[in-house]
Chains A and B, each alone.
Chain A
């Protein structure tokens, strides 16, 4: 079998899988009747619709000809990993993780951590430049979010402020 459009083929499969998952999840809730809908009714309807639609998209991807095969292309692993990691590191530093007894380091440390990790996603990484950028961002965020907008953030590490 020949896939005519790779992008459509995989998105169709994705739709079907997610649709079925939601429909399967809906079976655990009370379905009810049309006049008295239970919590499972609407999600079941949508899930089944989506699974069918996904099937149609997958089928089309095998049949309808496209010019260049609509390749998905290579994955940008480096930015993907570092951007997501930067975000997670930020959360970890800012709020800590009580379940593994990781202490909260607060906003300022979190900003430095995020900037360093995120910058690694780019093509060039200049330690000095990133340090300056992180400092600028930390000062600006402190002024804007803490002083001006008065958002409730832990600013400094928990073991310093107590």
Chain B
């Protein structure tokens, strides 16, 4: 069995002391930022990217991946105990999780979230390992036209599944694509939109955009809210073990959530947040057992399903990245950046040219999930203490880490001036209800899209029909069009809006 061989190769890489240590650091940091409200995995990965320069690529990616799925665990703790989503994918966990905590059942809620996440993480990792090889083979059939169409599909997928206004999300993608073009054009050598600033001929660093928009923008908007809205409440957690009754309810919910999350994670544009929403909606559609607490009042299924889904999705969203080189969401877009920094071109060739990296990363995810369950259940007390750290101590530290991270990417103060500008822009985005995640995705895909469009049209001698005459490309575009059409249909549009305002 190839799968077994590959996985044993992966475990061989992941089980070295150094990689175990980085997996642990990643999970630890991930939980930390997941627990702390107001700072997400996106900003953290951006902050820590420069710190990984000195590491070997495998260790760097293992650590960054750990931050991503670790944040999924940590976010649920805050959601349950403080009624705040510590991380955006825990938004739905808040609904039933906090109600459980208020009824003195914080322990079982945390256990349901932790165990569900662990199970889902293991399944997600297996799905990732199983699908990686066949999908890579498909990827080798892709020409520039297919890549271009796939990116269109990915971007459309991202806006369709994103919350909020569809048109504005498309606008943010376009803005991201345009910002991605700043800098020297690889084909002609012309420095575009560099305004004669030498630093801009290299383009805008994605760390600068991520930190400015996600780091500073969020902090400013958090501080703009009255203090009472950020107030921290620490519930007493005693007795982690769910009852037999709880287990009976939990297991099917975890299974459904895992399946939902695994599928939605693979889809371009899908990701942890969408998976959690979908899983919760699905649970609400199922019939309540006699004597079961209704949803919204502390139903354990309302915690187990979305938590399993977001964790499964965060694992399977690595599939498009590792096999096709196309990031399905903003965090994965950052991972592209991380790989490029380490001279690895994401795409189907990673598996053959760097099998250690590929399988090592996958194996480390399973190990990471095992570490996280230990970090999050027996050590829960530590994280609860952390929740009582006042925000006024926290935010200067976050500002500092952003500034240090930005400076250390190029050892250049110009990036610091630029991140200030993007911080302001990020706050404007928040005020105008413009979602920044599609922007980052567009920013990463911008140069890739232009390059593939160029090549496709060069090969077809300027004939645009090449995108619809090649079968694979045509079907990708058809799926994209279908997605767009579905969301624009009035009946579905209404449903979609309902799903996102969810209580």
Q: Which residues of A contact B (CB under 8 A)?
A: 7-8, 10-11, 14-15, 18-19, 22, 25, 29-30, 33-39, 42-43, 46-47, 49-50, 53-54, 56-57, 60, 70, 72-73, 75-76, 78-80, 83-84, 86-88, 90-92, 94-95, 97, 111, 114-115, 118-119, 121-124, 129-130, 133-134, 137, 141, 145, 149-153
Interface pair B171/A11, CB less than 8 Å apart: yes
Q: With CB as the reference atom, state the residue of chain A lying closest to B431.
A: A72
Interface pair B462/A34, CB less than 8 Å apart: yes
Residues of chain B within 8 A (CB-CB) of A149 are 51, 54
Q: With CB as the reference atom, state the residue of chain B lying closest to A138.
A: B400
Min distance, Cβ A115 to any Cβ of chain B, angstroms: 5
Provide a sorted-by-A list of 29 A–B residue pairs whose CB atoms are within 8 angstroms: A11-B171, A11-B434, A14-B432, A15-B171, A15-B174, A30-B188, A34-B457, A37-B187, A37-B458, A38-B188, A39-B192, A43-B181, A53-B170, A84-B424, A87-B399, A87-B403, A91-B413, A94-B407, A95-B416, A115-B400, A118-B400, A121-B223, A121-B395, A123-B227, A130-B396, A145-B408, A151-B50, A151-B408, A152-B408
Interface pair B417/A88, CB less than 8 Å apart: yes
Query: With A29-B190, A87-B402 given, is the CB distance from A57 to B178 under 8 Å?
Result: no
- A47 vs B51: C-alpha distance when bound (angstroms): 36
Residues of chain B within 8 A (CB-CB) of A150 are 54
Interface pair A91/B416, CB less than 8 Å apart: yes
- A46 vs B224: C-alpha distance when bound (angstroms): 34
Interface pair A53/B223, CB less than 8 Å apart: no
- Taking CB atoms and an 8 Å cut-off, the chain B residues in 449-471 that contact chain A are 449-450, 453-454, 457-458, 460-464
- Kindly list 14 other residue pairs between chains A and B, CB separation below 8 angstroms, not including A70-B433, A141-B400: A15-B171, A34-B463, A36-B458, A43-B193, A49-B174, A50-B174, A72-B431, A76-B221, A84-B216, A90-B416, A118-B399, A121-B220, A121-B223, A133-B397
Q: Which bracket fits the contact residues of B? A: 35 or more
Query: With A34-B457, A72-B432, A91-B417 given, is the CB distance from A39 to B190 under 8 Å?
Result: yes
Residues of chain A within 8 A (CB-CB) of B352 are none
Interface pair B396/A115, CB less than 8 Å apart: yes
Residues of chain B within 8 A (CB-CB) of A123 are 227, 392
Q: With CB as the reference atom, state the residue of chain B lying closest to A85.
A: B420
Interface pair B464/A76, CB less than 8 Å apart: no
Query: With A75-B431, A114-B399 given, is the CB distance from A145 to B457 under 8 Å?
Result: no
B112-145: CB near A (< 8 Å → 1, else 0) gives 0000000000000000000000000000000000
Interface pair A79/B416, CB less than 8 Å apart: no
Interface pair A88/B450, CB less than 8 Å apart: no
Indicate which residue in A35, A73, A122 contacts B223 across the interface (CB closer than 8 Å).
A122
Q: Say yes or no for B234: interface residue by CB 8 A criterion.
A: no
- Taking CB atoms and an 8 Å cut-off, the chain B residues in 411-439 that contact chain A are 411-413, 416-417, 419-420, 423-424, 427-428, 431-434
Residues of chain B within 8 A (CB-CB) of A79 are 219-220, 223-224
Q: Say yes or no for B303: interface residue by CB 8 A criterion.
A: no
Residues of chain A within 8 A (CB-CB) of B433 are 7-8, 11, 70
Residues of chain A within 8 A (CB-CB) of B428 are 14
Indicate which residue in A25, A46, A122, A137 contacts B397 across the interface (CB closer than 8 Å).
A137
Interface pair B416/A87, CB less than 8 Å apart: yes
Q: Say yes or no for B246: interface residue by CB 8 A criterion.
A: no
Indicate which residue in A14, A38, A70, A83 contacts B219 across the interface (CB closer than 8 Å).
A83
Min distance, Cβ B309 to any Cβ of chain A, angstroms: 30
Query: With A87-B419, A114-B400 given, is the CB distance from A57 to B458 under 8 Å?
Result: no
- A7 vs B430: C-alpha distance when bound (angstroms): 10
Interface pair B167/A57, CB less than 8 Å apart: yes
Residues of chain B within 8 A (CB-CB) of A49 are 174
Indicate which residue in A7, A47, A73, A87 contacts B420 across the interface (CB closer than 8 Å).
A87
Interface pair A90/B423, CB less than 8 Å apart: no
- A116 vs B407: C-alpha distance when bound (angstroms): 19
Interface pair B417/A80, CB less than 8 Å apart: no
- A124 vs B175: C-alpha distance when bound (angstroms): 37
Residues of chain B within 8 A (CB-CB) of A141 are 400, 404
Indicate which residue in B192, B403, B417, B460 contacts A29 across the interface (CB closer than 8 Å).
B192
Query: With A36-B458, A47-B178, A151-B50 given, is the CB distance from A91 to B400 under 8 Å?
Result: no
Interface pair A18/B175, CB less than 8 Å apart: yes
Min distance, Cβ A125 to any Cβ of chain B, angstroms: 9
Closest 4 CB pairs of A and B: A76-B224, A35-B462, A91-B416, A79-B223
Residues of chain A within 8 A (CB-CB) of B431 are 7, 72-73, 75
Residues of chain B within 8 A (CB-CB) of A10 are 432
Residues of chain B within 8 A (CB-CB) of A70 are 433
Residues of chain B within 8 A (CB-CB) of A84 are 216, 420, 423-424
- A57 vs B408: C-alpha distance when bound (angstroms): 39
Interface pair A43/B458, CB less than 8 Å apart: no
